[in-house]
């Protein structure tokens, strides 16, 4: 399930459109706010991933077995892919906000509206290339669906353990289900926010 996300993440990172949009965003007046958002988001994400990874490592120990290697690699892949997702989200939101500010107090001239149309077409093309043309949106759909599926599975394991033993004997399935649900909720919220900003008010 991580393979399509890894492949499309690489395509996005290597994409010249994404590189140009990110550099332009960082060089704009919104640059410092973008950096703060990214640093705080990545730090919070790393804390959650390290906590849940620690639960798994505490159960089995950190050794040279294949499971320990899998847990370590999964943490690296998750941090990388979710970092790219956050960068895409922030660049997209800033492009939409720039358009919204442009038409907040429009000039009733043909030149202004021609400029606004050019900016709109450029923004939609950039966002479309970064999300849809790269295949990243499809990969993230599969990623989110798998997160919800795994959250349901781990939740069912936790409830079965609680029903069978009349108490919670292990926190591992609950921690894993919490991580999957939390990641899905945050990602769906951020995606819905992009759509909300594109709606007229």
Q: Residue 1: its pLDDT value, please? A: 60
Nearest to 150 by CA among 184, 103, 116, 188: 184
Tell me what the mean pLDDT of segment 46-68 comes to: 66
Instruction: Give me 183's structure tokens.
Output: 């990641």
Rg of the Cα atoms in the chain: 21
Q: Does the pLDDT of residue 62 top 60, yes or no?
A: no
Instruction: Give me 46's structure tokens.
Output: 């790393």
Q: Does the pLDDT of residue 181 top 80, yes or no?
A: yes
Between CA 56 and CA 61 the distance in angstroms is 8
List, for residues 148-177, the tens digit of each pLDDT value: 888 888 888 888 877 787 777 777 778 778
Instruction: Give me 193's structure tokens.
Output: 């926010």
Tell me what the mean pLDDT of segment 16-24 comes to: 85
């Amino acid at each position: 399930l991580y393979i399509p996300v890894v492949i499309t993440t690489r395509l996005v990172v290597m994409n010249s459109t994404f590189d140009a949009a990110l550099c332009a965003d960082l060089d704009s007046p919104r640059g410092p706010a973008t950096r703060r958002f990214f640093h705080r988001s990545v730090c919070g994400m790393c804390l959650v991933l390290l906590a849940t990874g620690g639960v798994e490592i505490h159960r089995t120990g950190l050794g040279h077995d294949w499971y320990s290697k899998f847990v370590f690699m999964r943490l690296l892949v998750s941090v990388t892919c979710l970092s790219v997702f956050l960068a895409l989200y922030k660049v997209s939101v800033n492009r939409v906000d720039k358009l919204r500010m442009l038409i907040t107090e429009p000039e009733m001239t043909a030149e202004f509206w021609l400029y606004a149309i050019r900016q709109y077409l450029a923004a939609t093309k950039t966002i479309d290339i970064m999300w849809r043309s790269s295949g990243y949106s499809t990969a993230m759909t599969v990623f989110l669906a798998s997160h919800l599926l795994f959250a349901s599975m781990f939740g069912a394991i936790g409830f079965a353990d609680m029903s069978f033993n009349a108490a919670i004997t292990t926190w591992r399935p609950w921690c894993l289900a919490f991580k999957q649900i939390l990641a899905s909720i945050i990602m769906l919220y951020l995606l819905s926010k992009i759509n909300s900003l594109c709606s007229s008010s």
